[in-house]
Structure 1
Amino acid sequence: MLTPAQVQHFGARGFVVVPRFLGADEVAAYRDEAARLTNHCYEQGDLVAGWGCVVEPLGCGILDAVPERARSSRAAYLALRAQLSPPRLALCTLDRFGRCARQLLQSDRACLLNEQYIVKPPRSPRAEFAWHQDVLYLSEPQRRHAIVSVWTPLDDVCEANGTVLLDPFPDPARPGVYPPQDCAAATHVPAIMAAGDALFMDGRLRHCSTGNASGAFRTVYMPQFSQAPIAAAGAGRGLAALAVPLGPL
């Protein structure tokens, strides 16, 4: 669980870093899954050009099929994820990550929205992400449900190997509202983190990431959570992504 001070920091600035969120065994388990999924993606094409460095356990094609029920049923989701890794890994995502996300989202209907590994190969300066806000990937009606992303490095990260740069909320009273001018360099906060730390980000937080200039892979696990299930745009039927219920607080 997050402390009151951590929840307050998140609300005021749009993010909070929790040191040593994962233990060494959990980091190793997520890294092992990421390596297997990344190898599968390399068999299909270039990780940067073809996949954009984003590897989704349920979306990379390593599974023969993803039943629709697994997108919204906790039991079906856990059964499907067990085909890839030991059950404790998916339980960690739903329960440990999920409890903290539910604190921040303040909702009994909070659910897992998406999960992905962000893998930047060695010497990949093009493996960068421009300034953006995650919430803007959703349509305007979908944005009524807040989202939280948990950027969790499985390797030590710094600006040299592709960490995120954060632009804290300029006005806590108006979270996610930024001046129209370009980002001011003076406000940027680089996330210098150790493997197993967790960066909780409000979906309205402006951020970007650098390329990987190092000689080693840089891997991050990032589950995302929504305040409630988000319906698909258009006809309003179905789900925009996942809507897997979380464990209790």
Structure 2
Amino acid sequence: MLTHEQIAFYHRHGYLIIHDFLTPQEIESYKSEAQTLVNHCYEHGDIVTHWGCVIEPLGCGYFDTTEITLETRTTRYAYTALRNNLSPLAATCTLDKFGHYAQQLLVPREKRPLGQRAFLLNDQYIAKPPGGTGAEFAWHQDILYFSPEERCHPMVSVWTPLDDVHEGNGTVLVDPFPYSDCPGVYDNPPSALDAFYAVMNAGSALFMDGRLRHCSSGNASASFRTVYMPQFSLGRMAIQNDASGGFTALAVPLAEPS
């Protein structure tokens, strides 16, 4: 469980780092799944050129299109049944462990609109190959990838490195919320005084409000750098996939935390 201080910090600054979030077994489970998907993608192209370093378990072509149905993308049973073919532990951990913490950072249950639930809306691996360029991510806010109609939904992205990360291998550069009374509204370019590189050990988790401004550089190290990032929303976003690149891949409801 998160403390009141951690939740307040998240809402004030737009982010929260929890060290040692994943157990060694959970790290290995996600790393194994990531390796399987990366190998699949390399058999069909280049992960930088063709996938932009972003590999979605249900969207990278590993599963046959006939296996990915509306039920797979909107129900816990079908989603976990398919993902279990990759890793039995990872799917459950995403919905239960990640989901439990994410729900605490979304609007508290007692303040939600009547009947509104939390959902897993996407999950992806961000795999940056070593020693190259072209794997940079410019300054952005995750919520802006969604349609204007969907941006009313609070969302949280959980950027979770599976390898130790630092400035040299493409960790995320975070620009905290500038105003407490108007979070997520940036009217100035990023400032070196406020922005910081998230230096984290494997298995730590960076929870980011969908409005948080962030970016990352390429991986200049000699080793692969892999991150797992599930995203959660309060309320169901419409599943779509359009030519502009905006999409909601999933809408899997989470169990309410006890």
Using structure 2 for the length normalisation, give the TM-score.
0.91
Distance in 2 between residues matched to 1:12 and 1:172, nearest whole Å? 6
Root-mean-square deviation over aligned CA pairs: 1.4
Deviations 1:148-175 (A, max 9, x none): 0000000000010000000000111101
How far is the alpha carbon of 1:232 from its aligned partner?
A: 4.4
How far is the alpha carbon of 1:82 from its aligned partner?
A: 1.2
Corresponding residue for residue 83 of structure 1? 85
One of 57, 73, 78 as aligned partner of 1:71: 73
Distance in 2 between residues matched to 1:217 and 1:62, nearest whole Å? 20
One of 120, 128, 150 as aligned partner of 1:120: 128
Q: Residue 50 of structure 2 aligns to a residue in which SS?
A: helix
Corresponding residue for residue 39 of structure 2? 39
Deviations 1:15-66 (A, max 9, x none): 0000100011110110000000000000111111111000100001111130
Using structure 1 for the length normalisation, give the TM-score.
0.94
Deviations 1:174-198 (A, max 9, x none): 010011x321121111100000000
Distance in 2 between residues matched to 1:142 and 1:242, nearest whole Å? 14
Counterpart of 1:103 in structure 2: which amino acid?
Q
Distance in 2 between residues matched to 1:203 and 1:134, nearest whole Å? 5
Stretches of 4+ aligned residues off by more than 3 angstroms = none
How far is the alpha carbon of 1:73 from its aligned partner?
A: 0.7
Corresponding residue for residue 52 of structure 1? 52
How far is the alpha carbon of 1:233 from its aligned partner?
A: 6.4
Alignment partner of 1:92 is 2:98: no
List gaps (5 residues or longer) in structure 1.
none
Distance in 1 between residues matched to 2:223 and 2:125, nearest whole Å? 16
Map 1:49-198; keep pairs closer than 5 Å. Answer: 49-65=49-65, 66-86=68-88, 88-106=89-107, 107=109, 109-179=117-187, 181-198=188-205
Distance in 1 between residues matched to 2:203 and 2:15, nearest whole Å? 17
Contact 1:139 1:233 in 2 (8 A): no
Distance in 2 between residues matched to 1:182 and 1:32, nearest whole Å? 39
Distance in 1 between residues matched to 2:256 and 2:240, nearest whole Å? 29
Deviations 1:95-126 (A, max 9, x none): 00001111111255001000000000011232
List gaps (5 residues or longer) in structure 2.
110-115, 242-246
One of 222, 225, 237 as aligned partner of 2:232: 225
Q: Percent identity?
A: 57
Distance in 2 between residues matched to 1:84 and 1:233, nearest whole Å? 24
Corresponding residue for residue 30 of structure 1? 30
Counterpart of 2:117 in structure 1: which amino acid?
R
Distance in 1 between residues matched to 2:75 and 2:239, nearest whole Å? 17
Contact 1:124 1:212 in 2 (8 A): yes
Distance in 2 between residues matched to 1:49 and 1:185, nearest whole Å? 30
Contact 2:122 2:248 in 1 (8 A): no
